[in-house]
A and B are shown apart, each in its own frame.
Chain A
Amino acid sequence: MSLPSPQFNQLGTLQHFLTLDGLDKATLTAIMDAAENFTSVGDRMIKNVPLLRGKTVANLFFENSTRTRTAFELAAKRLSADLLNVDLVTSSTNKGESLLDTLRVLESLQCDMFIVRHGESGAADFIARHVKPTINVVNGGDGQASHPTQGMLDMFTIRQHKGDFEKLCVVIIGDIRHSRVARSGIAALNTLGAGEIRVVGPRTLMPTDVESMGVSWYSDLEKALHGADVVMGLRLQTERMSGITIPSSREFFATYGLTKERLALAKPDAIVMHPGPTNRGVEISAEVADGPQSVILDQVTNGVAIRMAVMSIVMGNAEPLREAAANGVLEDTPSNKKTNSTPSEKAGSPHV
């Protein structure tokens, strides 16, 4: 009874990459398989492939970001795309121009793909519903809602180190309530059939009815860590916390900080992940972040391969639509001015 997802185009293929909620296992696996092929590109003498040659990718960051923006930039360059970095944090959107006006301007610059980061939940979804049908939108993080490429690079890193998801016990510690990384990770872990997903933190950092998201809530970190295969820390989203959620970062570390002693309660071969930037001494101790079980830097490296995979897949999926538009068969105008006139999602499992 809800609005059909705008992720799929009229051909039933993945046009936009907005959220992992609703994508099936085959789709997630195909993205990881594609990323597998891209991991070696960075090791070559010539670090690029011509898949997106002649295409223009615009980084539209309405919110500050360093690592996500850099990873997308590098991914676009390794795919040989032309890249436009638009700093919207200090740009026209602060001068009263509406989000839609900004998009129309950038559409007129004949970009093929928008990478979007925005402070409002649902912003990527909104943008995808309002761009021309030939444009791809990739969500680089929207509000507290979704950060799907981060979710995928986390899954890819887990697969590299642990293989099958079904037997895994994954523990996610900290600020679930305000975290788009946690939402995307939890959606993907559920789809990939993870054995058990535990979220740990005080109630103030848990979304309402957190169990409805397919996880078990633990208030005690030490109990939660028993038998864990994967331990994920999250950055405390101090900028998204309204009011009081924790008394102090010192108390948070005392109660929920991931230390060497606590990590010893997990399985001996457990891996430690964190989306970064890490607040050492707040969510994680330095010796764990830099320790032998940490795969945090693997996550960073994998971030480029995953983004190359996502960008090349959605760009390829939109190619027939671009050709149709070029031949005048497809009307090259915004697909739906009204939210309720979104083209229906095609029945059956969508193709990647």
Chain B
Amino acid sequence: MKKIAFKTLGCRLNQYETDALASRFHSGSYEIVDFNESADIYVVNTCTVTNQSDQKSRQTINQAKRLNENAMVVVTGCMANNYKESLLESKAIDFVVDNERKTSIFSLVEKHFRGEVADPEGFDHDVFSYEAAYKTFHTRSMIKIQDGCDNFCTFCIIPKVRGRAISRPAKEILNNIREVIDYGFKEVVLTGVNIGRYQDEEVNFELLVEQILNLPGDFRLRISSIEPDGFSDRFFELFAHPKLTPHLHLCLQSGAESILLKMRRMYTAKQFRQMGEKLKALYPDFNLTTDIIVGFPGETQEEFDQTVQLANELQFSHIHTFKYSVRTGTRAERMPDQLSEKQKNQRSEVVRQISDHNKRAYYNRMIGKHQRMLIERIGSDGVARGYGENYIPIRLKAKNVTRNTFVDVVLSHLHEGKELEVCAVLASDHINA
């Protein structure tokens, strides 16, 4: 039995695609091993969203060849689209497979081991024909609903490497979700490049979410990362549904109107503020997280301060901070006043501190509240870990709990570890106490 190892860099969409590929190889009688082990095949699903992502992707490719110099190394993902020519020249890589043909990797590997000529370019483009992933690296099941983006934000390379926006037929999505629920998954996470722009004939994003929520079964749905444009009132109302988790990763990027305009974002800071305030007014414990880019070309101290102010006002419990990095071929590449690394580092550190502060404040505010925890793993110390519906990482010391089940807990106190977590007790014990 051949051994195959996967490494995913970047976004949840990549994770979904890796999960689906791993499932396909598993059902094809390959043994899936950890990426640090010696394998016959390594699949590196790369990211190219920043310079740092490029670097990590290259390091991972080299790591694969070091682990087993005779192994087959397959490189796919956004870097494969963005730097195809230079990757093809690398001796560490056997196959470069672009995003549009990622689904063909199983057939490509099989062909190669049958001794046939395997050419990635010989497969058709198909971004949705992934099988439902039963073998995943996560407890949550990601579901791809959309690919590509037509927004063309001036900093972003994604439209170039993921192509034009395309939505997966709603019927396929619902079937895919039915399958993963049947496999036993308790949490479904919607993924794509710009999922808010989902449109399959008459079915828009809100309608799709509504249809998913109406599926039978004991599961919950997480929207996760979404661009803040084009929400109707219905979107906000959806969160009243018990199956929809009260958490959104709503990508802000900047709190300055002028920078948002230069980024060519589809909303204003004022509109973003209104969305955040509306969510918090309707659902006081709502967990709002975000992405912020620091050091966009020409970003003044005053503009950065506006971002800081908005981050403080909306109290994002987590901020994924990106230092702006030039992406070849984007409009921002040709913008003047590129900031120094030192300035970007300083601003990044300010945002990181706000994020840490807000996270602590939010978790503290949630102490004493109930959460429905999905148990993801149970350590040898008997501590179960998982997430509540508000996407708070929870530690639970309890007997007779099993992985991939829901338990009702009450949050009790913060736990200072490598990452900040919240300890909990079973709700039944809490009542008894």
Partners in one complex: no
Chain B residues proximal to chain A, CB less than 8 Å: none
